[in-house]
Amino acid sequence: MYAITHASTALILKQRFRVRPLWPLLVSVQAIELLWVVFVYSGIEHVRYTADAVHLDFTWLAVWYFASRRSSLG
């Protein structure tokens, strides 16, 4: 994700939670990207690199999660 999308997410959250300072929101939305790096290195997330893109592969855990969530919705 691009850095501007993280910042815009924090600004949207700031609009909703006006009493919170901006810097924790900026840190929290960036922390998600840092967790993704940890998940890739630990093998939870999988990626494929090609000459022009980075492709995110679904893990079986993600497939199971979305399938179980869909079945619980009705």
57 phi/psi in degrees, rounded to 5: -100, 145
Report the pLDDT value the prediction gives residue 4, as an integer from 0 to 100: 75
Number of domains in the chain: 1
pLDDT tens column, 7-39 = 888 888 888 888 888 888 888 888 888 888 888
Find the domain containing 25 and state its range: 3-73
What are the tokens at 21? 């300072």
Share above pLDDT 90 across residues of the chain, in percent, rounded to a whole number: 0
Asked if the model's pLDDT at residue 70 lies above 70, the reply is no
- Three-state DSSP state, 19: coil
Asked if the model's pLDDT at residue 42 lies above 70, the reply is yes
Q: Which residue has the tokens 């924790």?
A: 24
